[in-house]
Amino acid sequence: MGTLLAGCGAEPGDIPLSEIRPESPTATPEPTPATPSPGVVGAAAGNPAAAHNGQIVGSAFLDAARSTSAIVTLAPDGTGQHQLTQPPDRARDDRPDWSPDGSTIAFDRTDPTTGAARLWTVSAAGEAAHQIGQLCDGGAVDCANEDERAPAFSPDGKQLAFSRTWGALDQATPARIQYSDLYLMRPDGTDVQRLTFLTNDKPYSGTVSNPSWSPDGKQLTFEYRTSATGQPANSRAVYVVGVDGTGLRQLTPWELRAGERASWSPDGTQILFTTYPTGPDNAPGGGIYTVHPDGTAIGALTPAPSDAAYGTAAYAPDGKSIVFAQTAAGAGTDFYTMRPDGTGVARLTNNGDKWLSRPVWGTAAAPVQAASQSSPGASPSAASAAASPSASASAASAQPSAKAPAQAQGQPDTEDTQLDDSDQ
């Protein structure tokens, strides 16, 4: 597919980004039963038992009006919250992801004026924040309303997967954008490749976002959210595709309305995802589920029916804990942990009206003292809290009233269905 640099990477006469295709372009697949992918179930990039849980990264609003958000980190027990990025007023830093070595965080920043998002990185210490070279930097057709979001590091740290939307807006329904698909590139912004072609022949049919890598680096899951003209209309599901663009298939049924960034267990045997109910944003319901990579054995980890609103969920590096976002009654969104079977729920944070969202658990070097690993991914205080599942299991959802900032150039914020259109 070639190397594409800033300014769309195309020299005069080159094929535009929207038309770069593999020999057999992916098409929107029918939701038929999937067959297992050899070498994925049970495969892992390394030994999960050797992975040590580091800090948790997420996004936090800096003001009660929820107009500006920054990237923050905190310890596995919920303490030591630290703001890493310094966004401009009303800008949104969101959708963070750790590099495999825990040294760098990739995220997207939404411009408060244009509503367009661009990809950034920052060190784990909060230093050297900078924008990655964007694909489009000119007036070419492919640069119209161009937007890049949801970066995800590959297990070897050599690639970033991300979502890109671009093209003309549907004037009758401004929220609909012409094209949306997944791309890959190096963390420095070079060697850009288009991975999926879901909307190439069906403009305005939906948006693609929230990629997540399998532990062996051979596959990615992502969210596909259909528009009013999609099939089915106004729905969402988790898909999986090979890193070479082949093997595209639907992983969850439409009726579950699965979305957000899925999370692969470190051993590659489970995929964690969140579901969202129909109806208005911020509505309670939905839940956190798991599914095998072959699409079988879908099971709920959270109570159903639920009076809580759930957000992104992610496995700890050692696979023994899950961190997730949830709305508490009469308050904002906070982080919780639970065991992989859904038991031992413990509340990590109490941020009030400055909502936390989209947690991702990073790795850490082996601890000097074994005693510091008294429980999976948590300090002794968090372990004690985990012994009482009632700590948060009955938390109810809140209905925020603040208006979300501008969305990207007519793109529906595909990750932002729950909780103030900024979600979790």
pLDDT tops 50 at residue 204: yes
Q: What is the pLDDT of residue 12?
A: 26
Does 191 map to a domain?
yes
Query: Residues 259-278: pLDDT tens digits?
Result: 999 999 999 999 999 999 88
Q: Which domain holds residue 364?
A: 44-391
Q: Is a pLDDT exceeding 60 seen at residue 210?
A: yes
HSE value, Cβ hemisphere, 13 Å, CA-based, for 184: 22
CA atoms of 258 and 235, how far apart (whole Å):
9
Highest mean pLDDT: which of 127-141, 344-358, 376-390?
A: 344-358
Identify whether 200 is part of a domain.
yes
Residue 31 included in any domain: no
Three-state secondary structure string covering the chain: CCCCCCHHHCCCCCCCHHHCCCCCCCCCCCCCCCCCCCCCCCCCCCCHHHCEEEEEEEEEECCCCCCCEEEEEECCCCCCCEECCCCCCCCEEEEEEECCCCCEEEEEEECCCCCCEEEEEEECCCCCCEECCCCCCCCCHHHCCCEEEEEEECCCCCCEEEEEEEEEECCCCCCCEEEEEEEEECCCCCCCEECCCCCCCCCCCEEEEEEEECCCCCEEEEEEEECCCCCCCCCEEEEEEECCCCCCEECCCHHHCEEEEEEECCCCCCEEEEECCCCCCCCCECEEEEECCCCCCCEECCCCCCCCEEEEEEECCCCCCEEEEEECCCCCEEEEEECCCCCCCEECCCCCCCCEEEEEEEEECCCCCHHHHCECCECHHHHHHHCCHHHCCCCCCCCCCCCCCCCCCCCCCCCCCCCCCCCC
Average the pLDDT over 189-197 and give the result.
95
77 in Cβ contact with 335 (< 8 Å)? no
Rounded to 10 degrees, what is the CA torsion of 74, 267, 313, 337?
A: -60
Digit-coded pLDDT (tens) for 81-123: 999 999 999 999 999 999 999 999 999 999 998 889 999 999 9
The predicted pLDDT at position 308 comes to 85
How confident is the model at residue 282, as a pLDDT? 60
Q: Rounded mean pLDDT of 399-408?
A: 33
* Percent of the chain's residues with pLDDT above 90: 59
Whether 415 is in a domain gets the answer: no
Between residues 362 and 20, which one has the greater pLDDT?
362
Residue 152, domain member (yes or no): yes
CATH number at residue 186: 2.120.10.30
pLDDT of residue 3: 34
**Residue 9 lies inside a defined structural domain of this protein:** no
Domain membership flag for residue 23:
no
Summary mean pLDDT of the chain: 78
What is the per-residue pLDDT for 171? 75
The tokens of 390 are what? 């009632």
Single pTM value for the model: 0.79
pLDDT at position 354: 77
Confidence band for 47, pLDDT divided at 50, 70 and 90:
low
Q: Does pLDDT of 195 surpass 90? A: yes
Task: Answer whether residue 35 is part of any domain.
Answer: no
Q: What pLDDT score does 422 carry? A: 40
Q: How many domains does the chain have?
A: 1
Tens-digit pLDDT profile for residues 51-82: 799 999 999 999 988 899 999 999 999 999 99
pLDDT tens digits, one per residue of 128-154:
999 997 777 655 667 888 999 999 999
